Amino acid sequence: MKLHRKRLVTAILSTCCLALGGCQFGSKDRYAPIIAAPQLVRSEILGYSVLNRPIELITVGAGTEKVLIIATIHGNEDAGTPLVERLLDELRVRPSLLADRTVLIVPVANPDGYALRTRGNASGIDLNRNFPASNRINNEIHGEGGLTEPESTILHDLILTQGPTHIVTIHQPLYCLDYDGPGEDIAKHMGRFCSLPVKKLGSRPGSLGSFAGVEQKIPIITMELAKEDSDLTDTELWTQYGYALLAAITYPELPY
Ligand SMILES: [Zn+2]
C-alpha cells in the first residue's frame, strides 16, 4: 500500500507538471513526449478532510460528456485508488479515448480513512451514508444529518457543480456491478469487459447512490471489487478491471 501511495503522489505531481506546462519534475515525466495537449490534464484540491488532508480532483479532457470516477470513499476499500491511478496512465497515452469527453477522477475521497485503514472518516462517520437523500437515517454512524462531514460535502458540491453524465464509484468486497438510478445499461456495458456480475443490491440509506442516482437521476455504477484486490498491483488490477472502467468512459461505444 505504501507503494500505491507513493505512486499516487507521483501521478499527481506529474499531472500538476503537465498542467503547468513543465516544472522540475516535468522533464522527467515518462509520458511528457506523448501528450499532445498537456493543458487537458489538471489537478486541483477540492477541499480538506476532517484531519486536513487534501481531497484531489484530477480532470482529464475537455469534452461535454462528463464521467466522474470516485475511489476509496470507504477508507479500507482502497483497491480503487491504484486502479484509477493506472487509468490516468492509460488516458495519457490514449487521448483518443477522450474525444468529446471529460473524465473527473477523485483518487481518494476519504483520505483520513485511507490513512487510518478505517471505513469511515476520522470522525467515525460512514461517508457513503452521509448524503442528503430522503431515505437517510440519522445516527452516530451515518451522521446526525446530511452532509455533516467535509468529505461528503465536497463530493455533493462537485456533483452539483459539474453535473456529470454518469458516475462510477469503486468499493469492495461484494464483487459485482451494482447501480442506482438509470444506470443499468452502463453497468451491463461495463460487465462485458470484466468478470463482475451485474447485481442490483438496493439503495442504501443516505448513500451516494440514493442521492445522485435515485434522486438526482444521474446513472451511478458501483464497482464492488473483491476483498483480496487490495493486495494486487495496479497492473494486476488493470488487467482485471481496466477495460470495464474504460467502457464506462466510452459508453455506449466500445473502449478500443
Ligand atoms: Zn464500500
Q: What percent of the chain has pLDDT over 90?
A: 78
Q: Is the pLDDT of residue 9 over 60?
A: no
Q: How far is the CA of 23 from the centre of ligand 1 (A)?
A: 37
Which of the pair, 7 or 124, is modelled with greater confidence?
A: 124
What cell does 33 get?
Answer: 513526449
Indicate the SS3 state at residue 163: coil
Residue 210 is predicted with a pLDDT of 98
Q: Count of domains in the chain?
A: 1
- Does residue 149 lie within any of the structural domains? yes
Q: Is the pLDDT of residue 133 over 70?
A: yes
- Does residue 212 lie within any of the structural domains? yes
The beta-strand segments (E) located in the chain are: 41-48, 54-61, 65-71, 101-106, 166-171, 174-180, 220-226
Q: How far is the CA of 20 from the centre of ligand 1 (A)?
A: 34
What is the pairing mode between strands 166-171 and 41-48?
Answer: unpaired
Residue 5 is predicted with a pLDDT of 44
Q: How far is the CA of 123 from the centre of ligand 1 (A)?
A: 17
Q: How far is the CA of 172 from the centre of ligand 1 (A)?
A: 6
Q: How far is the CA of 223 from the centre of ligand 1 (A)?
A: 9
Q: How far is the CA of 228 from the centre of ligand 1 (A)?
A: 14
- Does residue 33 lie within any of the structural domains? no
- Does residue 12 lie within any of the structural domains? no
Question: For residue 11, what pLDDT band results from cuts at 50, 70 and 90?
Answer: very low
Q: How far is the CA of 71 from the centre of ligand 1 (A)?
A: 10
Helices (H) and strands (E) in the chain, counts: 7, 7
Residue 49 is predicted with a pLDDT of 98
Q: How far is the CA of 244 from the centre of ligand 1 (A)?
A: 19
d(CA 256, CA 254): 6
CATH number at residue 56: 3.40.630.10
What b-and-e string marks burial along 10-42, b requiring 16 or more CB atoms within 10 Å of the CB?
ebbbbbbbbbeeeeeebeebeebeeeeebebbb
* Type of residue found at 172: Q
- Does residue 25 lie within any of the structural domains? no
d(CA 79, CA 197): 18
Q: How far is the CA of 70 from the centre of ligand 1 (A)?
A: 11
Question: For residue 39, what pLDDT band results from cuts at 50, 70 and 90?
Answer: low
Which of 206, 213, 210, 209 is closest to 139 using CA atoms?
206
Q: Can you tell me the mean pLDDT for 171-184?
A: 98
What cell does 3 get?
Answer: 507503494
What lies within 8 Å, CB to CB, of 5 at 6+ separation is none
* CA distances to 55, 78, 200 from 109, in Å: 6, 10, 23
Which of the pair, 256 or 209, is modelled with greater confidence?
A: 209
* 83-115 pLDDT per residue, tens: 999 999 899 888 888 888 999 999 999 999 999
Q: What's the mean pLDDT when you consider all of the chain?
A: 88
Q: Can you tell me the mean pLDDT for 123-147?
A: 98
Q: How far is the CA of 77 from the centre of ligand 1 (A)?
A: 6
Q: How far is the CA of 19 from the centre of ligand 1 (A)?
A: 32
Which of the pair, 3 or 147, is modelled with greater confidence?
A: 147
Q: Is the pLDDT of residue 21 over 70?
A: no
DSSP secondary-structure letter at 204?
P
- Does residue 223 lie within any of the structural domains? yes
What range does the domain containing 55 cover?
A: 39-250
Q: Can you tell me the mean pLDDT for 161-182?
A: 98
Q: How far is the CA of 22 from the centre of ligand 1 (A)?
A: 37
- Does residue 217 lie within any of the structural domains? yes
Q: How far is the CA of 109 from the centre of ligand 1 (A)?
A: 12
The owner of cell 485511507 is 114
Q: Can you tell me the mean pLDDT for 163-183?
A: 98
Q: Can you tell me the mean pLDDT for 125-144?
A: 98
Q: Cβ(84)–Cβ(68) under 8 Å?
A: no
- Does residue 134 lie within any of the structural domains? yes
Q: How far is the CA of 1 from the centre of ligand 1 (A)?
A: 18
Q: How far is the CA of 139 from the centre of ligand 1 (A)?
A: 18
Q: How far is the CA of 41 from the centre of ligand 1 (A)?
A: 28
Q: Can you tell me the mean pLDDT for 247-251?
A: 97
Q: Can you tell me the mean pLDDT for 167-193?
A: 98
Residue 38 is predicted with a pLDDT of 57
42-51, 84-93, 187-196, 221-230: segment of lowest average pLDDT: 84-93
DSSP secondary-structure letter at 77?
-
pTM of the entire structure?
Answer: 0.87
